[in-house]
Amino acid sequence: MPYGDVLDATGAPDKLINQGRCGRYHDQARLDFADGRAGISIFQSEAAHLPLRLEMMERHPEGSQAFIPMSADPFLVVVADDAGGTPANPKAFRTQPGQAINLLCGTWHGVLTPLSEPGLFAVIDRIGAGPNLQEHWFEQDYLIED
Amino acid sequence: MPYGDVLDATGAPDKLINQGRCGRYHDQARLDFADGRAGISIFQSEAAHLPLRLEMMERHPEGSQAFIPMSADPFLVVVADDAGGTPANPKAFRTQPGQAINLLCGTWHGVLTPLSEPGLFAVIDRIGAGPNLQEHWFEQDYLIED
């Protein structure tokens, strides 16, 4: 997929471990860090409710960013193409229960948007010095409907 | 902690992001890979029920291993000291809802043990060639009680 990866446990596992009791779906995210290193942080975010206005998108030029929900609740993902340094043609989707996502390095995306409490996620992204955030505020908002 | 890290969102966040709507609890895991690289895999494991017999422990000499539950369900963690190449003095605990764990490189631990279905986890561990698993089967089992 051009924007990133959807991580889940569908289909046959790549490997059975623990005497056959556990399936491993192996290496599902294209982690990519220009410098620094991978780290795990915990995010706790207020929930949002549809319909909502998409006013801003952001990207991280120095690293990929994976969002792993610590609940079975779906969350909203917004990604966009890049058109000369600004996000274009935004697309929104709601994850299925049991799905995590990984955004490729430099992918325009909306901020983390859980649709229910407690909005708890583990985030695997770049730990390193220097700026790694670009924001773009739209002149005209997009409305994301249910 | 000597065996690893507990990752959660307790206390004040290290940083508020997304216009104050999201707290970032920053870089909570001591990821450590002798070679290879970090990757994210999804594990789906059968649930176990207490009391259970601890027959075996394992360790990964080439990398740390983080387990992020994709539900709010507690899971069982067993860790042990190393005594000349075998696990000694095993300790078991049940996580709290909203906690993930990271096992340090080389820490003896029990296999992934969810206590309820669906037993879905994201695992951040070493992706690389070569062996990275040592198992030790106890001559006499330990009983882990509720």
Interface residue of B10, B33, B40 to substitute, partner A, most A CBs within 10 Å: B40
CA of B84, closest CA in chain A: separation in Å? 24
Residues of A in contact with B9 (CB under 8 A): 42-44, 120
Single out the residue of A49, A84, A124 nearest to residue B127, CA to CA: A124
ipTM above 0.85, yes or no: yes
pTM of the full structure? 0.97
Q: What is the pLDDT of residues A133-146, one digit of tens each?
A: 999 999 999 999 98
Q: Is residue B64 part of a domain?
A: yes
- pLDDT tens, residue by residue, A60-71: 999 999 999 999
Whether A38 is in a domain gets the answer: yes
* Chain B contact for A46 (CB, 8 A cutoff): yes
* Cα B141 to Cα B132: distance, rounded to the nearest angstrom: 24
Instruction: Please report, for the domain that includes residue A56, its CATH number.
Output: 2.60.120.480
Residue B99 belongs to some domain of the structure: yes
In a domain, B46, yes or no: yes
User: Which of A39, A70, A120 is opposite residue B27, by nearest beta carbon?
Assistant: A39
Parent domain of A108: 4-138
Structural domain includes residue B146: no
CB contact under 8 A, A45 and B18: yes
Residues A31 and A17: their CA atoms lie apart, in Å, by 24
Residue B42 lies in a domain: yes
- B1, pLDDT greater than 80: no
pLDDT digits (tens, 9 = 90+) for B20-58: 999 999 999 999 999 999 999 999 999 999 999 999 999
pLDDT attached to residue B124: 98
CB proximity A111 to B under 8 Å: yes
Q: How many domains does chain A have?
A: 1
